[in-house]
């Protein structure tokens, strides 16, 4: 890993005319350029089916960055001049030949030593074909390094994920494959390890002797928007749980790595996922709850139910909400439930982790509640970033009562314009060859294995609950915790964590 030099590379974006390129990739690469993290020695080649020209692509790039707070006309122009476009047919060998010629030319023009990043930002059915063609047509045959960045979904179940993996492994070695999970690029997701492993007051307590349960919530207010076609076959389980939620679980559950190298961190995450208790199809109803949003209100606006969204079957049984209980059967976590929930059209956009500590062996104090408030550590992932600790203190005045005290640390006060977005970090990591915040195949394998049993049990309508758009999910998700004697801690941002 080389973090001192500015990486010199060409980035080939497959699907450069698409939404992801415009919304995330161009602005992120611009930020890296603007901050001086990449030198002038780089080029971006956009490829897609449409017959665009360099200028059409540059115009799109301009549009995608001009509204950014840090954008200025001079750097935008200089930046856009690094962009080139190639109309491309993923199945034609001629296209790969033209691409190779173009890349060789750009290597000379920009003094790039043959380093190439191939970024798959398009329909997943072509990932395998492109990867194998890149190799067979000699595009990966360069004096520099080659890396493949691959967006989700990585398959739609274990079988298809394996097939895709076998295809891309024909052309790229595991260490050249960067499987994106954009949650791993988020500031506070990266902070989980630091909170755990750099604080003497947490790590000794981070186990089943002191923690009663962990809750991870990732709620969205948006519906499926124009992604009905994709989402129908995916649902919340494949769209959010298999990747983002399970990644957060593994970071919370992993053992301390012996050092912070990619291999050591990954191997601990993999070990945690291996300890996940498999859920048998007949047990799924005891561990998982699924829901689908009906019509309702979001921020005062009426919104349609899922079944009335574009490209959605009016009788769809696709889940837009999942709550689940994951058990990790190892010495550290035996008996501690990890509850997860995620959904679309919920009451607010928020991702939070709540670590609930066990009660003390006895209560010496008078409280106005039946019990002393449990200690909570809350990790705010988004939109607010920070940590909250709920402790107990003495109620003010001549009383023997206790009261919960809330200590907040917020990242939000830090200049947000300078906080890199997830994609910016991940693209940079890939450029410098740091794969730590990308998913290893073994992680993908283990999470699909776990998820497949659940989707197998969700083949029909039975057990699909509805919730009104604008609610926090179906009531059955509350019961999932209540039967274990717990409840979901609120995720609103008003500090209302007391019972
Ligand atoms: C994506 C899902 O991976 O994550 C989307 O495909 C979802 O459906 C998104 O909206 C959520 O990401 P974030 O960063 O907004 O929480």
Same domain, 229 and 300: yes
Residue 2 CA, ligand 1 centroid: distance in Å: 30
Model pLDDT, residue 494: 56
Q: Which helix (DSSP H) or strand (DSSP E) does residue 291 occupy?
A: strand 288-294
Q: Residue 377: give its domain's CATH number.
A: 3.30.360.10
Do 144 and 221 lie in a common domain? no
Phi, psi of 140 (to 5 degrees): -90, 0
Query: CB atoms < 10 A from the CB of 449, how many?
Result: 16
What does the pLDDT read at residue 495?
47
CA atoms of 29 and 37, how far apart (whole Å): 10
**Cα 209 to middle of ligand 1, angstroms:** 34
Q: Which atom of ligand 1 is nearest to the CA of 186?
A: 14
Domain stop point among 104, 136, 151: 151
The beta strand positions in 54-161, using DSSP E, are: 83-87, 116-120, 146-150
Number of domains in the chain: 2
Residue whose Cα lies nearest atom 5 of ligand 1: it is 239
Set 244, 373, 380, 440: catalytic member = 244
Same domain, 355 and 285: yes
Quick one: pLDDT at residue 3?
Answer: 45
Same domain, 270 and 338: yes
Query: Of 311, 322, 44, 13, nearest to 180 (Cα)?
Result: 13
Q: Are strands 376-382 and 116-120 parallel, antiparallel or unpaired?
A: unpaired
Q: CA–CA separation, 357 vs 259, rounded Å? A: 27
What per-residue confidence (pLDDT) applies to 499?
Answer: 37
> Is 15 a domain residue?
yes
How many angstroms is it from 252 CA to the middle of ligand 1? 20
List average pLDDT for each run of 10 residues in the chain, which is 499 residues long: 73 96 95 93 97 97 90 93 97 97 98 97 91 96 97 94 95 96 96 97 96 98 94 97 98 97 96 97 95 96 97 98 98 98 96 96 75 92 93 86 90 58 94 97 98 94 95 96 95 55
Cβ(81)–Cβ(45) below 8 Å: no
Helix or strand (DSSP H, E) at 286: helix 284-287
State which ligand 1 atom lies nearest to the alpha carbon of 234: 6
CA of 144 to the centre of ligand 1 (A): 34
CA pair distance 29, 51, nearest whole angstrom? 23
- The answer, yes or no, to whether any atom of ligand 1 lies below 6 A from the CB of 41, is no
Looking at residue 396, its pLDDT comes to: 86
> Distance of CA 411 to CAs 301, 383, 385, 419, Å?
31, 10, 5, 10
Atom of ligand 1 nearest to the CA of 152: 3
- Determine the distance separating the centroid of ligand 1 and the alpha carbon of 137, expressed in angstroms: 34
232 and 342 co-located in one domain: yes
Q: For the domain that residue 108 is a member of, what is the CATH number?
A: 3.40.50.720
CA of 227, closest atom in ligand 1: 8
Instruction: Identify whether residues 142 and 196 lie together within a single domain.
Output: no
* Cα end-to-end span (Å), the chain: 48
Give me the domain span that covers residue 380: 184-421+434-482
* Rounded Cα gap, residues 402 and 391, in angstroms: 10
Q: Is residue 331 part of a domain?
A: yes
Residues 225 and 147 in one domain: no
Distance (Å, rounded) from C-alpha 209 to C-alpha 223?
40
What is the pairing mode between strands 402-410 and 386-394? antiparallel
Protein residue closest via CA to atom 14 of ligand 1: 183
SS3 150: strand
Question: What integer pLDDT is reported at residue 493 of this predicted model?
Answer: 53
Verify that 477 and 389 share a domain, yes or no. yes
Q: Tell me the best of 220, 221, 342, 380 to mutate to test the pocket of ligand 1, counting ligand atoms within 8 Å of each CB and taking the most.
A: 220
Residue 263 located in a structural domain: yes
Give the C-alpha separation, 475 to 283, whole Å. 19
H-run or E-run covering 445: helix 441-457
Is 220 touching ligand 1 by the criterion CB < 6 Å? yes
Q: Which atom of ligand 1 is nearest to the CA of 422?
A: 14
Question: Does residue 1 fall inside a structural domain?
Answer: no
Whole-angstrom Cα distance, residue 188 to residue 191? 5
Identify whether 244 is a catalytic site residue.
yes
239 CA from centroid of ligand 1 (Å): 8
Give the 3-state secondary structure of residue 195: helix
User: How many Cβ atoms sit within 10 Å of the Cβ of residue 343?
Assistant: 27
CA distance 94 to 100: 10
- Residue of minimum CA distance from atom 9 in ligand 1: 240
Q: Do 132 and 219 belong to one domain?
A: no
In a domain, 348, yes or no: yes
Same-domain status, 409 and 331? yes
Instruction: Identify the CA nearest to 345 among candidates 312, 386, 394, 381.
Output: 312
- pTM for this entry: 0.94
């Amino acid at each position: 890993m080389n973090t001192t030099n500015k990486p010199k590379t060409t980035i080939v974006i497959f699907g450069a005319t698409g939404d992801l390129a415009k919304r995330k990739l161009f602005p992120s690469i611009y930020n890296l350029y603007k901050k001086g993290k990449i030198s002038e020695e780089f080029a971006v080649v956009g490829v897609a089916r449409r017959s665009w020209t360099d200028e059409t692509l540059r115009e799109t790039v301009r549009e995608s960055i001009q509204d950014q707070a840090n954008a200025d006309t001079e750097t935008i122009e200089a930046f856009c001049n690094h962009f080139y476009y190639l109309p491309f047919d993923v199945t034609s060998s001629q296209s790969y030949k033209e691409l190779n010629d173009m890349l060789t030319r750009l290597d000379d023009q920009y003094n790039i030593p043959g380093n190439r990043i191939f970024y798959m930002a398009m329909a997943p059915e072509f990932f395998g074909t492109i990867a194998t063609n890149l190799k067979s047509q000699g595009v990966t045959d360069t004096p520099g390094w080659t890396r493949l960045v691959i967006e989700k979904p990585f398959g739609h179940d274990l079988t298809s994920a394996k097939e895709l993996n076998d295809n891309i492994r024909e052309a790229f070695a595991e260490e050249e494959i960067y499987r994106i999970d954009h949650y791993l690029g988020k500031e506070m997701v990266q902070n989980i390890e630091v909170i755990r492993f750099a604080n003497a007051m947490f790590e000794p307590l981070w186990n089943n002797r002191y923690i009663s349960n962990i809750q991870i919530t990732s709620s969205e207010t948006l519906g499926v928007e124009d992604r009905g076609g994709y989402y129908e076959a995916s649902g919340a389980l494949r769209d959010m749980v298999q990747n983002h939620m399970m990644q957060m679980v593994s970071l919370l559950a992993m053992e301390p790595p012996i050092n912070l190298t990619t291999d050591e961190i990954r191997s601990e995450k993999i070990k945690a996922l291996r300890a996940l208790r498999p859920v048998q199809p007949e047990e799924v109803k005891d561990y998982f709850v699924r829901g689908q949003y009906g019509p309702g209100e979001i921020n005062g606006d009426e919104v349609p139910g899922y079944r009335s969204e574009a490209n959605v079957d009016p009788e769809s049984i696709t889940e837009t909400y999942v709550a689940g209980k994951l058990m990790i059967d190892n010495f550290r976590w035996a008996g501690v439930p990890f509850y997860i929930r995620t959904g679309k059209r919920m009451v607010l956009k928020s991702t939070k982790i709540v670590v609930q500590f066990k009660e003390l062996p006895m209560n010496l104090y008078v409280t106005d509640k039946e019990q002393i408030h449990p200690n909570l550590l809350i990790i705010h992932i988004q939109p607010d970033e920070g940590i909250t600790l709920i402790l107990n203190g003495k109620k003010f005045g001549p009383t023997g009562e206790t009261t919960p005290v809330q200590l907040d640390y917020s990242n939000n006060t830090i200049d947000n314009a300078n906080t890199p977005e997830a994609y910016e970090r991940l693209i940079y990591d890939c450029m410098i060859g740091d794969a730590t915040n990308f998913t290893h195949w073994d992680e993908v394998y283990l999470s699909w294995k776990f998820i497949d049993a659940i989707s197998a049990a969700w083949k029909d309508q039975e057990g699909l609950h509805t919730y009104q758009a604008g609610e926090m999910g179906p009531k059955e998700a509350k019961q999932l915790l209540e039967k274990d004697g717990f409840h979901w801690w609120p995720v609103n941002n008003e500090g209302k964590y007391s019972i």
